[in-house]
Structure formats: C-alpha cells, structure tokens
C-alpha cells in the first residue's frame, strides 16, 4: 500500500482520501519515509514539518471519518518554495540574510492550501531570492536532479521540482520571475505552470521582480496542475496587482481538462527555436507531430522582438530586485553584523556578510540601471522593449490559440558547469523569459528524453487568463504519451 500511494498523483490520492479508501496519515508518513531515504541525496528541502504534518493529516482523516466536508486537496502532502511566508518554520529565500526570519503571517497561497485541507510537509530549496537557473545560488544547501545526481535540478524553484520528481511530496508551489517554475520542471521531468500575472495572489511571496513574479504549481500531471490552480487562483484584496474576477473570472480548471480544444491552431517560431540543442528540437518537433495527428493546424510566425527578451529582462528584473532588496538593511529584520562602528557599517556589513555573489551582482546591476543619467538609456529602454515583446504576443494570438517552443535550449547541465559564467547561465533563460515580460501564462510539459536519459520539456504559451485553454491543450498532448508515468532512477 505504501508504494502504491507514492505511485498516485495528487488527484488520485485526494479522491482516495476523501472517499475514505486511503488515509492522509498513511500518505503523510509514507512521504516522510521517502524523505528520510532520499532527501540526504537530493537536498530538495530547506525545512520539513513532520510532527505538525502528521497531526494535521490525522485531523483531516478524522473530519472525513465524521462525514464532514473537506477541501479540494483533502489530506494531500504538498511542499512550498521557501520564499512564501509561513507562520510555522522560517522563511529563508535560501539566503543567509533571512536564515532566522519567522513571518508573522501566512502568504495568501499558504492560507488557500490550508483551507483546501492540504498537508504542508516542508519548504523547498531555491536560488537565493529566486535569482538563478540551477539552484546553485542557494545560500543554504545544494539540490541535485533526481534523474542524475551530478546535474542541477534547474532553478530557481529547483527544490520544488526535485521534490515532486523524487516523490518527496505530491505537488509543490514554485514562483516564476523569468522561468523558475517551467525550467526546473522541464529539467526534472514534471509539469510546471506559470499563471498569468495577477491570477494568483503574491501577498506573502517575498518580492524579487515585482512586475514579473508569479506563483504556480509544480506537479506530476497536467490534471494536478489544474487541481492546484483551482485552489490557488483568484482575486485577493491584499495584493493590488491581483486581478478582479469580474474582469477575468476564474473557473473550475479541472472540470473540462479532458475536453480537447476544437480546431486547435498552434503557432511556432522556427528561427527562434533553432537555437535549441538538436535533441531538444527533435522532441519539440515530435510533440508538434502529435498535435498534427490530433487535427491541429500548425502555422509558422515571426516574433521579431523575442531576441531582445534576455537583455530587457536582466535590466528590469535586476532593477526591481535592487529596489526590493533595499529592505534588508540589518535594521528591520534579518541578519545584522556584530559590533558595527557606525550605522553605515550596520547596512554595509550586514549586507556584505549575508548576501551571496549573484544577489550582490544583481543589486549592483539594477542600481546602476536605475541611477540618474542611466535610467533613460537602460531601464526606460528595457520597458519599451518589453512593450514591443507584448505587442509580438498580441499579434501572434490574433492568429493562433497557443504558441509552442522549447522550455530550455538544453537539458539539465552538470553541477558547476555554468555557475562561474553568469552570462551563459542567463542565456539559458531564452525561451522562458518572454512570458514573464508579457505577463501571459505558460506551461512546461515533459516531452521526451535526450541520449543521457534526461527529461526535455515542451513549452506552451497562451493569451492572458487563458489558463483553462492552456491546461486543456497541454492535456491533449499528455494523453498521447506515457512520459509523465516515467520515474527517475532514484525513486525505484
């Protein structure tokens, strides 16, 4: 029964627990057994809450036994990235500066998970303040890829992706500023969805790039992604950028997940896709053939400004991060240097001691881009480019339902391979960043393996607030493959 439980996806487990055929306490205990066995090798979690999770699982089982109604994630063990505030445990953002920070409130998504009767098993590792593509920038620990422990899990939500792929939870939340849900999902062979900007509340998500950040699910299947969206999507008065449901209503994303989109029209951007590795290109082409066989129309389009996405992103994201990270000053909260000579030293030494190299690099870049004299040349110019990229998408979606492209030009790279070469690392975000600049939803779905048996991800992008359609399109493909049933060697 125990291993059978780990073979289930979120939805199956939820149905079994809600109908009394399985117990949340058994599922939770099974997850903690798996954590005990594999976590030392994987390093997916920064913190875990065994006692608290088991008590909660027992309470949910009791509710079910008493015939009380339960939420959509009844008793399902899930994980969250450690940049979402919780009143239990620390919220570290994988940074030494917040290592001992305890939030006085829960993030909106955490409240929503709890209301849905999920069991939160732990908080996952990430690149410090979500800056990175490999989780190697974590200031606290190392996470490896469950498919090959010499390789990175992707980033910045690498812990969430490794935990789901390694079956150390049934689903997880990540955050995506420039690809941080989709790219690790792709590297670890799981499903990752970045919703439309404003669809999910950012209240209690520690800010990195405020106009780009969005929380979303990392799951084994597309249906699980829909289930998680049912729980976390919707308007929140505490987040002024969360979109009113009168403007963009949320729906039951799971209800019609198996209904294919009629007369589906897919666009591809051939000259842009040509930058990916051969094996990645081949898998994407095969996936497109699957859609063709399902009757989809494929059109080729040109999106002239996509080539500038990385340059614009690394100005905007660093500018916003430099401003957001000004609050870590050694005074209000977080790490404070010992024995400072004066208040200038409180600021400078606290920050120098506790921020990692990449965070410092981005604070400097962002401060420079925003400084008077350079603002117009860099930040303002980047905003204009962002507008042109948005325009490319608006034009594209007049002609198609969705756009398909790779998630990442390569599969998971070796640990240490790119960490000392930030520009190469930044270039690996080429396919994911545009969706954040445009604010549109995009999903990563497993679509093959390379010659080293490393997973490849297919990226599907849809118009703003079309998550429903996006999930159904992704499900059409998933139904035709057995990719999501394959497990990394570490699990067997």
* Residue ranges that bind ligand GLN, judged by CB under 6 A: 130-133, 156, 176-180, 208, 317, 429
Q: Please provide the distance, in angstroms rounded to a whole number, between the alpha carbons at the two ends of the chain.
A: 15
- Whether 141 is catalytic is no
* Size (the chain), residues: 492
The SS3 of residue 155 is coil
Q: Which of 138, 157, 175, 180 is catalytic?
A: 180
Q: Based on the number of CB atoms within 10 Å of its own CB, is 300 exposed (0-12), middle (13-18) or buried (19 or more)? A: exposed
Say whether the peptide bond before residue 115 is cis (omega within 30 degrees of 0): no
The active-site residue out of 11, 16, 23, 81 is 81
Among 103, 133, 156, 408, the active-site one is 156
CB of 120 to ligand GLN, least distance (A): 21
Closer CB to ligand GLN, residue 179 or residue 463? 179
* Residue 156 is a catalytic residue: yes
283: annotated active-site residue: no
- Going from the C-alpha of 213 to that of each of 175, 241, 280, the distances in angstroms are 7, 11, 27
The least CB distance from residue 173 to ligand GLN, in Å, is 13
Quote the least distance from Cβ 179 to ligand GLN, whole Å. Answer: 5
Q: What single DSSP character describes residue 453?
A: S
C-beta of 126 vs 287, nearer to ligand GLN: 126
CB-nearer residue toward ligand GLN: 97 or 257? 97
Cβ atoms of 418 and 134 closer than 8 Å = yes
- Minimum CB separation of residue 31 from ligand GLN in Å reads 26
**Smallest distance from ligand GLN to CB 374, Å:** 20
Decide: 110 and 80 in contact? Cβ < 8 Å.
Answer: yes
Q: Looking at beta carbons only, is 296 or 363 nearer to ligand GLN?
A: 363
CA distance 62 to 68: 9
Alpha carbon distances (Å) from 69 to 65, 74, 465: 10, 9, 30
For 332-387, the three-class secondary structure string (H helix, E strand, C coil) is CCCCCCCCCCCHHHHHHHHHHHHCCHHHHHHHHHHHHHHCCCCCHHHHHHHHHHHH
| Closest to ligand GLN by CB, 58 or 409 | 409
Strand segments, DSSP code E, in 20-157 are 45-48, 77-81, 119-124
**Exposure class string for 86-124: b at 16+ Cβ within 10 A, else e:** beebbbbbbbbbbbebebeebbbbbbbbbebbbbbbbbb
Nearer to ligand GLN, 134 or 242 (CB): 134
Q: Give the nearest distance from C-beta 93 to ligand GLN in angstroms.
A: 11
Tell me how far, at minimum, the Cβ of 252 lies from ligand GLN, in Å: 28
**206 vs 267, which CB is nearer to ligand GLN?**
206
Residue nearest to ligand GLN (CB): 180
**Residues annotated catalytic, as ranges:** 81, 156, 180
């Amino acid at each position: 029964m125990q291993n059978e439980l780990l073979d289930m996806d979120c939805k199956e487990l939820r149905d079994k627990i809600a109908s009394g055929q399985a117990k949340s306490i058994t599922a939770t205990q099974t997850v903690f057994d798996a954590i005990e066995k594999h976590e030392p090798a994987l390093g997916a979690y920064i913190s875990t809450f065994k006692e608290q999770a088991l008590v909660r699982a027992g309470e949910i089982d009791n509710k079910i036994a008493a015939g009380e109604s339960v939420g959509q994630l009844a008793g399902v063990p899930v994980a969250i990235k450690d940049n979402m505030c919780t009143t239990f445990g620390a919220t570290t953002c994988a940074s030494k500066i917040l290592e001992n920070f305890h939030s006085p409130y829960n993030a909106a998504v955490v409240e929503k998970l709890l209301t849905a009767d999920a069991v939160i098993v732990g908080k996952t590792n990430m690149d410090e303040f979500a800056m990175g593509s490999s989780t190697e920038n974590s200031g606290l620990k190392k996470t490896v890829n469950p498919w090959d422990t010499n390789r990175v899990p992707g980033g910045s939500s690498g812990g969430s992706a490794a935990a789901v792929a390694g079956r150390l939870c049934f689903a997880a939340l990540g955050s995506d500023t420039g690809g941080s849900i989709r790219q690790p999902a792709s590297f670890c062979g799981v499903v990752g969805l970045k919703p439309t900007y404003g669809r999910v509340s950012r209240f209690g998500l520690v800010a990195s790039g405020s106009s780009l950040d969005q929380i979303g699910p990392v799951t084994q299947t597309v249906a699980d992604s829909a289930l998680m969206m049912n729980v976390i999507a919707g308007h929140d008065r505490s987040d002024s950028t969360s979109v009113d449901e009168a403007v963009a209503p949320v729906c039951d994303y799971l209800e019609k997940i198996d209904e294919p989109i009629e007369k589906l029209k897919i666009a591809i951007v051939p000259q842009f896709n040509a930058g990916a590795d051969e094996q990645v290109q081949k898998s994407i082409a095969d996936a497109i053939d699957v859609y063709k066989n399902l009757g989809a129309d494929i059109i080729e389009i040109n999106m002239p400004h996509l080539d500038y996405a990385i340059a614009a992103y690394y100005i905007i994201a660093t500018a916003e991060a430099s401003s957001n990270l000004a609050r870590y000053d050694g005074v209000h909260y977080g790490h404070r240097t010992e024995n400072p000579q004066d208040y200038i030293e409180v600021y400078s030494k606290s920050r120098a001691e506790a921020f990692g190299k990449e965070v410092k690099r981005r604070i400097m870049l962002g401060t420079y881009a925003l400084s008077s004299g350079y603002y117009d040349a860099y930040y303002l110019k980047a905003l204009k480019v962002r507008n042109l990229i948005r325009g490319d998408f608006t034009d594209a979606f007049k002609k198609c339902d969705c756009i398909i492209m790779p998630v990442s030009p390569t599969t998971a790279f070796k640990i240490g391979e790119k960490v000392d070469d930030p520009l190469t690392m930044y270039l690996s975000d080429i396919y994911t960043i545009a969706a954040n600049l445009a604010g549109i939803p995009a999903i990563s779905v497993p679509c093959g393996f390379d010659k080293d048996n490393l997973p490849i991800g297919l990226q599907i992008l849809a118009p703003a607030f079309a998550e429903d359609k996006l999930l159904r399109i992704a499900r059409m493909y998933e139904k035709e493959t057995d990719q999501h049933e394959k497990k990394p060697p570490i699990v067997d």
